[in-house]
Structure 1
Amino acid sequence: MTMDLSRFNTLADDTIEAIADKVDDLLGDKIDADLQGGILTMTIGGGGGQYVVNKNGPMRQVWLASPVSGAWHFEWDESGHWLSTREPKLALDAILAQELNDRFGVTVAF
């Protein structure tokens, strides 16, 4: 059964806002996090690339574009995680946290 659009929007918006807040708090001096219209763009200084996190309402997915691992699509799982559509054991928060941890040497947990 497809998730109701209103519930999807709430979950996706809350997730994207939480990521923006955490990145700004922990890495604000290294990453420029800009949340506009539900699209989070995180630009790494010094030409280090850009992450983009956004939602796709018709598909009920959150999408991640990573300069490290490429494009990902995630669907909400009732366990409380956005899980990858290609690697269902991988979650959005875990992938992003690991990449940021590896890059900046700080513990990022969403």
Structure 2
Amino acid sequence: MNSHVCKCEPFTAIADKCLEEVTKYIDKKLPDAETKESHGVFAFKTDAGEFVLNRQVPEKQMWLSSPVSGPSHFDYVQNRFYEKNKKIGLSELLEKEIDQILKQ
């Protein structure tokens, strides 16, 4: 059995759960948003532009491309995805930016 694959499987499951939670959040907050999901990538369009969230299994990170804050790489730390340079969690950043877009 390939041990590299075994090491990635738990992260893939965590990342997929994260993508699922973000999808549900966006469907709730932006029910009219155009969304796409495929093979570990979730994209959605807003009035501000397109957000793209994807899992990066080799790096064990989630990457977000945001029209509001630009690119971010989130490490899985203490049961959440956290961006150390911006000092913010993935959920917090998305909530902040979506709320900002909805207020426009």
Asked if structure 2 preserves the Cα contact closer than 8 Å seen for 1:20 and 1:34, the reply is: no
| SS of match in other structure, 2:68 | coil
Q: Is 1:12 matched up with 2:10?
A: no
> Counterpart of 2:93?
95
Q: Deviations over 1:30-61 (max 9, x none)?
A: x212111111011125xx31000001111110
> Counterpart of 1:37?
39
- State the alpha-carbon separation in 1 of the partners of residues 62 and 95 from structure 2: 16
> Counterpart of 2:30?
27
Q: TM-score, normalization: structure 1?
A: 0.81
> What is the identity, as a one-letter code, of the residue corresponding to 2:38?
Q
Q: TM-score, normalization: structure 2?
A: 0.86
Asked if structure 2 preserves the Cα contact closer than 8 Å seen for 1:24 and 1:32, the reply is: no
Note the residue ranges of structure 2 that are not aligned, 5 or more in a row: 1-6
Deviation at 1:26, TM superposition (A): 2.3
Q: Deviations over 1:37-90 (max 9, x none)?
A: 111011125xx3100000111111000000010000001112x21011423x31
| SS of match in other structure, 1:63 | strand
Asked if structure 2 preserves the Cα contact closer than 8 Å seen for 1:64 and 1:73, the reply is: yes
Q: Is 1:76 matched up with 2:76?
A: yes
After superposition, the CA RMSD in angstroms is: 1.3
- State the alpha-carbon separation in 1 of the partners of residues 64 and 54 from structure 2: 7
- State the alpha-carbon separation in 2 of the partners of residues 23 and 60 from structure 1: 23
